[in-house]
Amino acid sequence: MASLDAFFAPRTVAVVGASRDPAKIGHLVTKYLLESEARVYPVNPSAREILGRPCYPALESIPGEVDLAVLAVPAPATVEMVRECVKKGVRAIIAQASGFGETGEAGRRLETEIRDILSSVPGDRRPRLLGPNTLGVYVPRNRLDTTFTVRERSPRPGPGDIAFISQSGATAVCIMEAAASMGVGLSAFAGIGNKLDVDENELLDYFAADPHTRAIAFYLENFRDGRGFLERCRRITPRKPVVVLKAGRSASGMRAAALHTGSLAGSDRVVEGALRQVGAFRAYDEEELVDLARVLGQGRPLAGRRVAVLTTAGGLGVILTDLLESRDRGVGLELAPISEEGKARLRSALVPFASVHNPIDLTANSSNQHYADALRVLEEEEDVDAILCVMQFQSPYVDEALADLIIDRFHHGPKPMVVVTIGGELSWRGLRRLGEARVPVYPSLWRAVRATAALYQRGCYLARCTGVTAQGTAAAQLRPRAWEGGSCHV
C-alpha cells in the first residue's frame, strides 16, 4: 500500500477510544466508519461490544493488520497510543485530540514526544501521522469519514472532483457543508491540523497523482516549507489547478520596515506574487475557494477573452456585460461579436422580440427549445471563446429538463461554459442538479463572471506553459482531457 493510501483507502481501521455513548466523539467516528468499505475494529478496554461490533481491549489484540488507526482519545493518552500503533505496525494514524502545540508549551512537549516515538522507528515501518488536532479525513466515494460532526446537522458533500486540504477542521466543516448545499462534491478531504508529520506539501503531491481529483483546494494559515510548496505547484499546476485560501494576511507581516520593500511586502504581497508565479490561484474567502476550485476542475480554459452571454432577462444580460467588461468593477473580458450568419440563424429560431446581439436575450417567453437552438448557434460561432449561460425557470415554456439540456451542452458542446441561475427554490434545484452533474453553476452574476475570468486566466497560464498564445489556440486544444498526463513545463 503506497504511503498515504492508508489514510484514504484503508482496508482496516481501528478506532481507539471507540464509545457506546452517542455523545462521545469515539461513538460518532465508529458509527460513520461502519458505513465505509473498510473493516472497522472498535478499541476500548471497558467495552465488549460497540454498535454491534466486537470491541478490542487494545490495538495489539486485533487479529490481522491495521492500516489506519483513528485516535479519538485526549492528548496525553494519544502519546501512549502512538506507541501502541508502532508496536502493532499500524500504517497510518489520525490523531484527533486538541491540546497539543496549538495550546502552548505543555502541548508542544507532547508533540515532541510523538515525534520522538515516530522517528525511533525505521523508515519502512514508521507509521504516518495526520494531525494532531484534526478531524481526519473524509472520502465520499468510499464513505470513509472520520470527521465527527453530527451528520444530521452537518451534511457532507457527495463524490466529486475537488480534493480539499484544510489547516482548520471547524472551518473545513462549514465550507464542506456549504459546498454540499450546492451539490458540489469532493474527491477527498484531509485536515492537516498541527502538521506534526503529514503536511500540505505531501498531500499536494498525493492529490496531484490521484485520478479522482481534478482540482486541489487548500485552506492554509502558514506554509510548512514555502519553497517546497511553490516547487510542487510549478510542477503540478500545468496538469491540475491548485487554489489556495491563505489566511492571516495582515498580522504576520511584522518586520523591520526601514526600507520600502519591507514595508510594502507585509508577508502577503509576497504570497500573492509567489502563487501567481507558479500558476496557483489565490482565493480570498471561503466562497471563492470553492467557486474557483470547481470551475477550474470542471470547466475548460478559455482560448480567448470573448464571451457570449445567453439570458432570458435583459437586465441580467446588461449587468453581466458590465461585470465582464469593466476593468474597475469587473474582470476586463469582452463580449463576443456575433456573425451576421449567426444573427440570422438566431433570428429565425427565436421569438421576434428576442435580442440576437450579444448579450443574447431569449426573453421571458423562452422555451427549452430556444435555449437549445441558441446554444447550438453560439457553439458554432468562431469568435465566441466561452458561453455564459443564464439558466432561468420563470418562463412558462421552460421546465426542469432545461437543466439536463445545459448539462449535456456543458459536457458535450465545443465551447467552455459557465452557468448562473438567479431565483428561488426552482433555481436552487437546478443549481444542485448541475452541481451534482459537475457543471460549474453559481447563484450570483458576479460569482459566475469571476469563475469565467478564472478560466481565462487558466487558459493564459496553460498557453504560457506550452508556449502557445492564448488568442491563437483553438479551444479544442485546451480541453482538460488533452493535458491530463501530458507534460508541460513552465
Partner 1 sequence: MCDPREMIRSGLPLAEHQAKDLLASYGVNVPPRVVLSPEGTGVSEVPFPYPVALKVSHADILHKTEMGGVRLGIPDRAGLEAAVADMRSRFPGKSLLVEAQQPPGVEAIVGLIYDATFGPSLMVGLGGVLTELYEDVAFRVAPISEEDARDMLSQLRAHRLFEGFRGIRASRDALVSVLLGVSRLAQELGEHIEQMDLNPVIVYADRAVVVDAKIRPRQPS
Q: What is the binding site for partner 1 (CB under 8 A)?
A: 222-223, 226-227, 230, 252, 255-256, 258-262, 264-265, 267, 269-274, 276-277, 464
DSSP state of 252: G
Residue number, 227 or 411, with CB nearest to partner 1: 227
Residue number, 155 or 332, with CB nearest to partner 1: 332
Minimum separation from the CB atom of position 264 to partner 1 (A): 5
Residue number, 219 or 223, with CB nearest to partner 1: 223
Minimum separation from the CB atom of position 269 to partner 1 (A): 5
Residue number, 1 or 257, with CB nearest to partner 1: 257
CA distances from 310 to 18, 70, 180, 438 (A): 54, 50, 27, 20
Minimum separation from the CB atom of position 445 to partner 1 (A): 25
Minimum separation from the CB atom of position 261 to partner 1 (A): 3
| 51 within 8 A of 30, measured Cβ to Cβ | yes
> Using CA atoms, how far apart are residues 96 and 88, in angstroms rounded to an integer?
19
Minimum separation from the CB atom of position 215 to partner 1 (A): 22
Residue number, 319 or 331, with CB nearest to partner 1: 331
DSSP state letters, 386-441: EEEEE----STB--THHHHHHHHHHHHSSS-EEEE--SSHHHHHHHHHHHHTT--E
Residue number, 146 or 201, with CB nearest to partner 1: 201
Minimum separation from the CB atom of position 422 to partner 1 (A): 32
CB atoms within 10 A of CB 262: 12
Minimum separation from the CB atom of position 460 to partner 1 (A): 10
Nearest residue to 309 via CA among 257, 204, 381, 231:
381
> Using CA atoms, how far apart are residues 437 and 444, in angstroms rounded to an integer?
19
| 43 within 8 A of 56, measured Cβ to Cβ | yes
> Using CA atoms, how far apart are residues 204 and 175, in angstroms rounded to an integer?
19
Residue number, 174 or 264, with CB nearest to partner 1: 264
Give the neighbor-by-neighbor strand order of the sheet with 92-95. 39-43, 12-16, 68-71, 92-95, 128-130
